[in-house]
Amino acid sequence: MSRRTVKAPADDAGTVEVAGDGDAPVRRGRGRPRRSIDREQVADVVEELFEEGGYEAVSIEETAKRLTVSRATLYRTVPSKEHLLAILFERMTTELYDAALEIVENADLTPRERVEQLVRAQIDAAFRQRNYLLVFFGGGNLPAEDYEKWKTWRRRYEGLWLKVVEEAIANGDLPDDDPRLVTRLVTGMTTWVARWARPGGPHDAGHIADVALRLVLSDPKR
Amino acid sequence: MSRRTVKAPADDAGTVEVAGDGDAPVRRGRGRPRRSIDREQVADVVEELFEEGGYEAVSIEETAKRLTVSRATLYRTVPSKEHLLAILFERMTTELYDAALEIVENADLTPRERVEQLVRAQIDAAFRQRNYLLVFFGGGNLPAEDYEKWKTWRRRYEGLWLKVVEEAIANGDLPDDDPRLVTRLVTGMTTWVARWARPGGPHDAGHIADVALRLVLSDPKR
């Protein structure tokens, strides 16, 4: 996890600190407006707005209101809706990458178990993040610099998958063809779960992953 | 295929006919501006604009220009960008549904062959329509009445898949679980092809479908 403290440009209202959640809250006088913007809190609020009304419901105004900071304060560190989305995007991708890295680096797992765990982690994320995962997975709706970060992230994340898929192919667990093609087909299946899975639906993330694995892994699987 | 002739509301410039491509072109005097809007031609132009510059590049102004009709003429029958998209959307869904129906109704095929052909048809469509398929598969970007049509279409299209998947499960070709869940996992894999497949890429639609089928169908498959 990269937790950073970013200094927004100073203006005549003073410097606003953007604190990562490892940082102590900025001390402020009683009754003074809040000046510290916590990125984790921002991500929580944006997630909540997506849940309530989708992409259209996300706005700086509503986020400021729920964070009980002034719109001007939020604007100084989050200058546009795209930047607001970028904060949630960063949390989502960091989480997904870290989970995948842990699986890839776990020496106790067989190649087949690694595929199983990657599929489970991605379906779990798609299920929980169904309200916004596909907004980001197109790579759109982000500021230019975050779009570049997205491309880098996707390459690194796919790199982890490729390593696991190559081993699983060598092991006979997945069909022997271009590992990148196999990876994209499998991650397409798991990513698209965000489109149709619902918390009140007939299947939870665990069961969806069971069936996905029975579909893609070689027998014995049924 | 439903080919319809829709009469736009008359205005003081006269009635504009929207001709399906089965209709004879509307006769017009030499040098008079074109008054007939052909839905197939509109769909072709919108597809071309998606290809050139994505969603942002699609506009009534540019479509009118390429159809060599005035903007006012096009506006009378296509009152918004959403309506413009709806014309391409209708062609796409009609084509996909008709292809699936033909496969389902072909009594010469085994259940396994039906799955194979459905997967091939959908990957082929995702590949060809990669510039806009996902714009529509979210169900967004359409006028309200077309969004309702989209929901109906999706239900009917999924209904065709369900029938085939149920038979294939009974036959041992797909894992035995909720046919709707199996259908959505498989169609997620095939739909997402639109996100990453490219004409200059290393694999064509046929090869992508081969590997997708080796992944999802039970052995013997490798």
Q: What percent of chain A has pLDDT over 70?
A: 81
CB within 8 A of B31, min separation 6: which ones? none
What's the rounded Cα separation, in Å, for the pair B61 and B74?
A: 9
What's the rounded Cα separation, in Å, for the pair B84 and B183?
A: 30
Query: How many CB atoms within 10 Å of residue B47?
Result: 18
Q: What angle do CA B176, B182, B184 make, to 5 degrees?
A: 170
Query: Chain B: which residues have CB within 8 Å of chain A?
Result: 134, 137-138, 174-178, 181-182, 184-193, 195-196, 202-203, 207-208, 210-212, 214-216, 218-219, 221-222
Q: Residue B65's domain spans which residues?
A: 6-79
Whether residue A75 sits in one domain with residue A87? no
Whether residue A71 sits in one domain with residue A87? no
Structural domain total, chain A: 2
Of A181, A215, A219, the CB nearest to B185: A215
pLDDT at A149: 86
Residue A21 lies in a domain: yes
Whether A188 sits inside 8 A of B184 (CB atoms) is: no
Instruction: Read off the pLDDT of each residue in B44-55 and give the average, rounded to a whole number.
Output: 93
Long-range residue pairs from B164-171, CB within 8 A, at least 24 positions apart, any chain: B164/B103, B164/B104, B164/B111, B164/B114, B164/B115, B164/B118, B165/B115, B167/B111, B167/B114, B168/B111, B168/B112, B168/B114, B168/B115, B170/B111, B171/B110, B171/B111, B171/B112
- Is B195:A192 a contact under the CB 8 Å cutoff? no
Whether residue A93 sits in one domain with residue A201? yes
Instruction: Read off the pLDDT of each residue in B54-64 and give the average, rounded to a whole number.
Output: 93
Whether residue B128 sits in one domain with residue B23? no
Q: Give the closest residue to B37 by CA, choosing from B19, B25, B53, B55.
A: B19
Of B137, B138, B188, the CB nearest to A189: B188
Instruction: Read off the pLDDT of each residue in B36-63 and give the average, rounded to a whole number.
Output: 92
B18-44 pLDDT, tens digit each = 444 444 444 444 555 566 678 999 999
**DSSP 3-state of B188:** helix
Of B178, B184, B219, the CB nearest to A218: B219
Whether A196 sits inside 8 A of B188 (CB atoms) is: yes
The kind and range of the H/E element at B148 are: helix B144-170
Whether A222 sits inside 8 A of B175 (CB atoms) is: yes
Whether residue A90 sits in one domain with residue A154? yes
What's the rounded Cα separation, in Å, for the pair B211 and B222?
A: 9
Confidence band, pLDDT 50/70/90 cuts, at residue A52 = very high
Whether residue B210 sits in one domain with residue B104? yes
Whether residue B190 sits in one domain with residue B96? yes
Q: What is the mean pLDDT of chain A?
A: 84
What's the rounded Cα separation, in Å, for the pair A214 and B8?
A: 52
Whether residue A88 sits in one domain with residue A74? no
pLDDT at B136: 80
Whether B178 sits inside 8 A of A218 (CB atoms) is: no
Please tell me the distance in Å from A21's CA to the nearest CA on chain B: 34
Whether A192 sits inside 8 A of B189 (CB atoms) is: yes
